[in-house]
Structure 1
Amino acid sequence: MDSSQNTPVSTKAPDGNTDAPDRVEINPVATDDEIRQRLTEILQTTSWFGEPKVTVQKGIVRLNGTTENDESRQWAGDLAKNTEGVVAVVNQIEVAPTKVWNFDPAYQELNDLVRGFVQLLPLIVVAVVVVFISWILAKLTIYALRRRLLAGSGSQLLREVSARAGGIFVMLVGFYLVLRLAGLTQLALTLVGGTGLIGLVLGIAFRDITENFLASLFLSLQQPFREGDLIEVASATGYVQRLTSRTTVLMTLDGNQLQVPNSTIFKSTIRNFTSNPNRRDDFIVGIGYEDSIPFAQEVALKVLADHPAVLSEPEPLVLVENLGPSTVNLRVYFWLDGGKHSWLKVKSSVIRLVKRAFQDSEISLPDEAREVTFPQGVPVRMVEREGTAEPAGPALAERAGEPEAVATKAEAGLQSEAGEIQEQARRSWTPGKNLLTPSSSGDTS
Structure 2
Amino acid sequence: MRKIVNCKQSNCSQKTNALRIISTALAILLSISPTDFAGAQTEAPPSEESAGESDEQKPPERIDIQPLAEDEEIGSRLKKILVATEWFVDPQVRVEEGVVFLTGEAKSPEHKEWATKLSGNTQDVVAVANRMKVTKPSTWDFTPAWQEIDNLRRNSIQTLPVLLVALVVLLLFWFATKFVAALSRRIAARRTSNSLLREVVAKAVSIPVLLLGIYLALRVSGLTRLAATVLGGTGLLGIVLGIAFRDIAENFLASILLSIQRPFRTGDLIIVEGRKGFVQSVTTRGTTIMTLDGNHVQIPNSTIYKSVIENITANPNQRQTFVVGVDYEDSLEDVQATILSVLKEHPTVLAKPEPLVLVDELAASTVNLRIYFWLDISKHDGLKVRSSLIRLVKKALVDGGFTLPDEAREVIFPKGIPIRMLEERETENRDRKVSPSTDERDQPERTTTQSEGSLTSEAEEIEQQAKNSRLPESGENLLAD
Q: TM-score, normalised by structure 2?
A: 0.80
Q: Following superposition of structure 1 onto structure 2, how do residues 392-407 of structure 1 map, counting pairs within 5 Å?
A: 404-407=445-448
State the match for 2:304 in structure 1.
Answer: 265
Alpha-carbon distance in 2 for matches of 1:338, 1:346: 10
**Is structure 2 residue 181 aligned with structure 1 residue 142?**
yes
State the match for 1:4 in structure 2.
Answer: 42
Q: 1:399 to 1:23 in 2, by over 3 A?
A: farther
State the match for 2:464 in structure 1.
Answer: 423
Structure 1 letter corresponding to 2:123? E
Residues 154 and 221 in structure 1, CA contact (< 8 A), matched pair in contact too:
no
**Is structure 2 residue 206 aligned with structure 1 residue 163?**
no
More helix by percentage: 2
Cα deviation 1:335-361 (Å, max 9, x = unaligned) = 111111111111111111111212222
Which secondary structure state, in structure 2, belongs to the residue aligned with residue 413 of structure 1? coil
Q: 1:339 to 1:224 in 2, by over 3 A?
A: same
Alpha-carbon distance in 1 for matches of 2:435, 2:173: 88
Mean Cα deviation higher: 141-150 or 270-279: 141-150
Match of 2:329 among 290, 305, 322: 290
Alpha-carbon distance in 2 for matches of 1:239, 1:172: 43
Structure 2 letter corresponding to 1:380? G
Q: 1:420 to 1:38 in 2, by over 3 A?
A: farther
Unaligned runs of 5+ in 2: 1-38
Pairwise CA RMSD: 3.1
How far residue 195 of structure 1 moved from its aligned partner, in angstroms, is 2.6
Which secondary structure state, in structure 1, belongs to the residue aligned with residue 43 of structure 2? helix
Cα deviation 1:273-315 (Å, max 9, x = unaligned) = 2222111111111111111111111111111111111111211
| Percent identity (aligned) | 49
Larger RCO (CA within 8 A; separation ≥ 6):
1
Match of 1:412 among 411, 436, 453: 453
Structure 2 letter corresponding to 1:225? F
State the match for 1:443 in structure 2.
Answer: none
Q: Following superposition of structure 1 onto structure 2, how do residues 292-307 of structure 1 map, counting pairs within 5 Å?
A: 292-307=331-346
Which secondary structure state, in structure 1, belongs to the residue aligned with residue 404 of structure 2? coil
How far residue 226 of structure 1 moved from its aligned partner, in angstroms, is 1.1
State the match for 2:416 in structure 1.
Answer: 380
Structure 2 letter corresponding to 1:135? W
Which secondary structure state, in structure 2, belongs to the residue aligned with residue 105 of structure 1? helix
Q: 1:55 to 1:290 in 2, by over 3 A?
A: same
State the match for 1:13 in structure 2.
Answer: 55
Cα deviation 1:98-145 (Å, max 9, x = unaligned) = 321222222222233222222222221111001001110111111111
Cα deviation 1:52-80 (Å, max 9, x = unaligned) = 34455775644333234445334424433
Structure 2 letter corresponding to 1:436? L
Unaligned runs of 5+ in 1: 439-445
State the match for 1:207 in structure 2.
Answer: 246
Q: Following superposition of structure 1 onto structure 2, how do residues 343-382 of structure 1 map, counting pairs within 5 Å?
A: 343-371=382-410, 378=414, 380-382=416-418
State the match for 2:24 in structure 1.
Answer: none
**Is structure 2 residue 160 aligned with structure 1 residue 117?**
no
State the match for 1:246 in structure 2.
Answer: 285
Which secondary structure state, in structure 1, belongs to the residue aligned with residue 248 of structure 2? helix
How far residue 91 of structure 1 moved from its aligned partner, in angstroms, is 3.8
Residues 43 and 60 in structure 2, CA contact (< 8 A), matched pair in contact too:
no
State the match for 1:222 in structure 2.
Answer: 261
Q: 1:331 to 1:415 in 2, by over 3 A?
A: same
Cα deviation 1:379-404 (Å, max 9, x = unaligned) = 52544468225347769989998982
Alpha-carbon distance in 2 for matches of 1:19, 1:33: 25
Q: 1:99 to 1:170 in 2, by over 3 A?
A: same
Q: Which has the larger radius of gyration?
A: 2
Alpha-carbon distance in 2 for matches of 1:170, 1:135: 8
Which secondary structure state, in structure 2, belongs to the residue aligned with residue 239 of structure 1? strand
Residues 13 and 48 in structure 1, CA contact (< 8 A), matched pair in contact too:
no
Aligned length: 432
Structure 1 letter corresponding to 2:55? A
Q: 1:191 to 1:77 in 2, by over 3 A?
A: closer
How far residue 175 of structure 1 moved from its aligned partner, in angstroms, is 1.8
Which secondary structure state, in structure 2, belongs to the residue aligned with residue 219 of structure 1? helix
Residues 59 and 117 in structure 2, CA contact (< 8 A), matched pair in contact too:
yes
Alpha-carbon distance in 2 for matches of 1:44, 1:342: 107
Q: 1:88 to 1:152 in 2, by over 3 A?
A: closer
Structure 1 letter corresponding to 2:368? N
How far residue 225 of structure 1 moved from its aligned partner, in angstroms, is 0.9
State the match for 2:11 in structure 1.
Answer: none
Q: 1:90 to 1:117 in 2, by over 3 A?
A: same
Mean Cα deviation higher: 151-160 or 387-396: 387-396
Which secondary structure state, in structure 2, belongs to the residue aligned with residue 25 of structure 1? coil
**Is structure 2 residue 472 aligned with structure 1 residue 435?**
no
State the match for 2:16 in structure 1.
Answer: none
Mean Cα deviation higher: 312-321 or 423-432: 423-432
Alpha-carbon distance in 2 for matches of 1:31, 1:413: 129
Cα deviation 1:153-187 (Å, max 9, x = unaligned) = 13211101111222212111212322443455565
**Is structure 2 residue 170 aligned with structure 1 residue 127?**
no
Alpha-carbon distance in 2 for matches of 1:323, 1:381: 31
Mean Cα deviation higher: 169-178 or 313-322: 169-178
